[in-house]
Structure formats: structure tokens, C-alpha cells
Structure 1
Amino acid sequence: MYSDNSLSRDIENVRQIPIVSTMLEVVCRTTGMGFAAIARVTQDRWIACTVRDEISFGLEPGGELPIETTICNEIRDAQQAVIINDVAVDPTYVNHHTPRIYGFKSYISVPIFLKNGDFFGTLCAIDPNPADLNNAKTIGMFKLFTDLISFHLHSIEVIEKSNETILDMNRQLTESRDENRQYQHISSHNLQEPLRKIRMFSSMLIDAAEAKDTEKAKYLSLKINASAQKFSMMIKDLSDFSELKDTSFEPVDLNKIISDVCVQLKSELEEKSVEISVTQIPVIQAVPFQMEQLFYHLIHNSIKFAKKDDTPIIDIQAKVLSREEILKVIPTARGIEFMEILMEDNGIGIEKSQLENIFDMFSQLPYDKTQKGRGIGLSYCRKIIRNHNGIITAQSESGKGTRLRIILPMSRN
């Protein structure tokens, strides 16, 4: 079965071939036939990629014919050309339903095979009058043209795959550089802070011990222990983050995932009387545990940064993106369906100057006075989404809530 996106890409690839219009003109001029087309033919679809119509047949590029009404349906199965000089005297097709439906007397259709041997479609022509088609010149011309179409389609595919590989390598390099930047910052700054406190409190503890100040020694011991615990937790978080890799993908019902997360966060949701609405989200191929982590952190963040005096509202909507929409943001999305999830809240929002940093490890908003978390939630979210070949972006203003846009593939390559 072919997706609409896949068929649209095939049709567009044919249109990209520079000489297709010339081919169809030569077919009509050489054979004297009034209509010629290149068709994409599958088990259940017949779609005109490009046409030349001099007899007002009425079919335009992108137009479809019911597959069961065409002879191309039989050509796909037999993988042999069909040539009819005059249907009235043709023993095989004189009573065939296709000439009766479309009113032609002459017909020629030659299969187009891709370089890997797969059947793609046909180069075909019809006319309401008889024609002399069963000759070496005509057959040779059609064979040459179908070979050229196959060659060009192969070239386009090679170029597209090369571009995809380059874009994917650039994306992976960018992501790798971003993570390396974060690790360097964490090593130089975040991890140094608890170590500095351990050294400082240890020095003070020695002084307190020499002064036999028991109470101060106990106090400083607790401080050292707290800093050591923080350092240990940061190391564990880094280890967990680095090990957050692709695992087994399977069909995942995100509606159930979100429902399960809401059960886990039930006390927090009830405590702040959070109103949460979720539209129907399509099933996707994903790692279930990572999807659960993703929505846990996202919803938990919205609860944490809710306004004190307003009823917190979380709205989650989803839609399948069109090919045009997805190519604007993910040029390597060839042949794959993607969906968009928009998650919006009415919380305290994020200052624009902080938006670039919210996905970094251990980043905390300057006005997060509670310091309940360790600043890892959104960095986990981005890592999970990257593991699934998606993207996440944020829009926000201080005091006006936050809107997260998540784009995820619905299937795997």
C-alpha cells in the first residue's frame, strides 16, 4: 500500500524530469495520436503524472481514473506492453470495457520499470481513430522513452538520498556539538559548584574541629553531606542522560500515555485544580517508556510554573502534517508522515532571553525561587524527541504562558 505522500512524491519526481513534455509531444507527433500521458499505477490507483491532451480527453496532471476501468491495470499484472491499432478488429480487446468507457480506437501503453525492477507505471497514448502503432519505430521510441524516465527517476532518487544523508549528518553533528557544549559547560560550571562548597565546608569543619565547636561541626557536616548528595545526583543525571538512546520501537497510543501520566501526577493536578484537555492523538511508532518520560516532564513543568492566582490550564492538540508543512521544518522527511503536537499552558511563561537555554541540562529559570527540580526535565524531553528524529521548539513570554511545538514521525524508516 502506498501513502498519499509517497504517491505525491512520485508524481512530483516525474514532473521534475526536464524532457517529459518533449517526450509526450514527440509521441503525439510521431504516432498521430491526440492524447499521451505518463501514469503512476499501483494496485488500486491510476494517477496522471503529466499529460498532453489534443483531443479534449479532459484529464489533467494529478487527475485519476478508476484503476479497474484501465488497461494499465492489466499491464501492471502482466508487465507487458499493450498495443491496439484498431480496437474494432482487435481479437483481444474488441469487447473490452476500457475502449467502450473512454471511446478510443487506438491505444498503446508501455510499462515503466524502476532500476530495482519495481513496476512504476506506464507511458501511454490513445486516440479516437485507428493508428499504425505496431511497428519497430514506434515500439523503439516508447522503449527509449520509458528507459529515460526510469533513468531520471533513479537519478532524482540518488540525489534526494544524498541530500538527505548530508542533511541528516549535519543534524546529527549539530546535535552532537550541542550536547558536547552542554557537557563542557556542566563540567566547568555546574559540577564545580557543589565541589567548591564541599572544599569550603571541609576547610571550615577542620577549623571547627580544632576549636572543639561541636554544634558548628555538626552543621558543617550536614552541609558537606548535602553538597555531596547534590554532586552525586548530578553525576547520576548525566549518566542517565547519556544512556538515553534508541531502544525498541513499537506502536504507542499517546492518549493512553498522557492518561497514565495524569494518574501519576494526580495529587499535583488536584492540589492546583489543573484543567487539562487533550485532543485525539494518532498512534505512532515510538519507545513507550521514553514517551511516558516526555509527557511526564512536560506536564509536570506546566504544573510547577503555574500562576498562583489563576486556574492552571493545559491544552494539548495534535494533527498530522501535510508534506508541504513538514518539509519546511524537516527537509529529510521524505516519504514519512509526521504529526505535530501543540502543548500550551497559561503559566508564568518564560522570558525571551531564557528561551535558548531552557533545553540545557541543569538550566533553571532565574525566577524559579522554589528550586524544586534540578533543571533536567526539558533537556530529557529534547533528547527523547531527537531519539525519535523529531524536533521541539518553545514560544513564550513572561506572564503569558508557554507554547511547546513537538514534531514527531508517525513511523520508522
Structure 2
Amino acid sequence: MFENMEMPDKKLLEDIQKIQSLEIIPSILDLVCRSTGMRFAAVARVTEKQWIACVVKDDIEFGLKAGGELQIETTICNDIRSTGEPVVIDHVREDERFKNHHTPRIYGFQSYISMPIILKDGTFFGTLCAIDPLPIPLSDMNAATMFALYADLISFHLYSQEQRAQQNQLLESTRFQLQQSQNNLRQYSHISRHTLQEPLRKLQLFSGMLEQDMNLPPNHKAVTIAGKINILAAEFSTMINDLTDFSDFEQKTDEFQLVDLDTVLKAVLNRLRFKIAAKEALVHRSTLTILPAIPQQISQLFYHVLDNALTFTNPLVPVEINVYGCDVTAEELAAYTHLTDKDNYYKVCIEDNGIGFDRGHSSQIFDLFARLNTKEQYAGIGMGLSQARKIIEHHNGFIIVDSETGKGTRFCLVFPKTLPQ
């Protein structure tokens, strides 16, 4: 009677394994037996063609094991699958509906309860059921309510299990895509640093040879063109290197540590001392704080923003740059709705009295190779601020920009005071 009538298909086997993997199921079966006094309980997967026991508690030697199957036509669960309604029988012999029913006669029980397990998407999964050879007053003890709660709990755990499986699949897919992306970036990095640079080096070599050709006068057209080719090749080489550095940024695994921003700032100003001297710039600074950060990246961040301030200067006024740190205001944090604790943020502001720009370009200046001015007016290829934004975002911070044409620019670099999660 309990032999397999038909091999379950792959989907059905997966459903059975899902139930069997839920650690809570044996506890539920034990609880329903203790609460009702019934001595056999099971969770069954029920379809149009099959009734299969997923997990069983058998204290009456009924003989049905986990994975065992009943002929679907012999079960009351088949009716429950059609109606979606539970069945509760206190005493078969006294029940007008079931006293002549074939199921109690076949399996020899007098009390019976079966509750449909409906999945969160509304589909019927199977039943939580219990039987006993003796009559038990299930209606008096309101057993249907208890079984309904347990059936809903099973449905919830199946749903949670499905969600975890989907999340794991998504995570695995994301991990694979990340590996592919990292692989592609490594290939790109090698190509850009070696393969693409080689023809540029040769181009510079040959154009340099042409520039230095003693048989051509200095003002010869070929010498002028060769000079321009040399400059463009050098610029293109720089662009490739900077773009490669930008792409390689995500591959770095430097760890956060407590960083004295004041020490980093002093070192960056020392790196820029020749440009500061050439611009005759006056740099005012106040003492900065200590924050969790990646030292090398903070050094790059300060360098890019300060270099930007020293590049886009106003030739009509003495160059002045002011660097200071302070806490973030609630108004400044208001634009970032996911951030609520203003006391957890610190900002480093770098103000200049340079040429500034229209506020409408505040987001454009962070784009790769973005230029608001011609390269004849101001040197550079437009990568510095892109790198700056990437670094600050890697630190779970952001940049506030305030500028006005002809009146200078203020960049506020906002950092969390705690380590990023």
C-alpha cells in the first residue's frame, strides 16, 4: 500500500527535499501530536497524480515512511487539493459525511485532521495532516486553528527558503559577473599600459627624430607638424594611463586605518610646492582631524582638488586658497535623504578665488575628460575630479560643490567619522 506508485519528477523531488531540509518541521509534527493526542502526523506534497509523505511522525506503526506514497484516489487530501478547505473529523463512525467514506475504511482511522498548505503565491503545496485509530474531540479543542497557524508557518518557511535560494543565485551570478569584470579590467590594464603605449612611444620617437632633423630649418612645416604630433601623442599616452588608473581603482584592496588628514595635507602641499610657487599662491590652512580612511587615496583626493584650484586661477587677482575642516550642517545633509546623523560626518573644504564656473555645470565637472575651458587656456585632461569623486564615494562620503563664474569655487569633501560597513 505504501510503495512508490510513480517516480516523482525532478520538481516534485525538489519540493520534498525543501520540506525535509526545514528543521522546524519535526518540531511542528511533535507539537501537533502532543497538543491533540494524535499519534500519527505528516506533511505531504499533494498533486493531481501523487500523494507523497515528506516528513512523518509515526507512533502507531502506521508503516508510512518519509518518501512513501499513497494512491491519490484513496486520500481525503485529494478533495482538499480541489476545494482548498480543511477537513476535521472527531469520530468517523459518528460523522455523517465520512462514516461511509472509503479513506477511513482503507487506513483504519477514527479521528482525522488535514490543513491545506498554501504558498505565498496562492498555489496549493500539500497538507499538514494527522490521524489516530481512536476518536479524539478535535473540534472541542479548536485544533483547526492550531493546524492553520502551523500550515501558515510552513508556508512562510518555504517562502523564506525560496527567497534565500533566489538571493544565493543572484549573489552567485553577481560574483561571476564581478570575476568576469575584474578579468576584463586586468586584460584592459595590461593592454592599455603596454600594447597601446608601444605605438605611441614609436610615434613620439619618429616625430622627435623629425623635429631634430638637422637638414630641415626650424620653421619648416614638417617640423611644426611633427611637434604637434609629439604633443598629441604624449597627451594621448597620459589619457590612457589616467583612464587605466581610474579603472584599476576598484581592484585595489587597501585597508582603512586612522589617518591624520593634517599630515596628509602637509605632504600634498609639499608635492605641489613648485606649482604653488609658480602661481605665487597663498595657501591658508587650519588643523584637520583624524578619520578612518585609506591614506594613499586621501593623498590622491587632496592632490586632485588642490591641483584643480591651482590650475583654474584668475590671472587678474593674487591666488589664494583656504583649507579648513568642520562638522557637516543639517542643511548640507538634507539633500542626501539616506543620511540622517549629521554628527557622524566631517568635511574638509578647499576654497579658491579662481575663475569658478556656472552652477549648472556642478555635476558635469566630475565626468571623465570633462572640460569647461579649452586646453589652450588651461592645461589638463579632465581626469582629476573624476578620480576625486570615485575616492570619496569609496569612503562612503560625497562632495558638495559651490561655485560662481569669476568668484571662485569651494569643494567640501564630506567623510563619515566611522568605518564604512
Structures share fold, TM-score greater than 0.5: no
TM-score class, shorter-chain normalisation, is 0.3 to 0.5
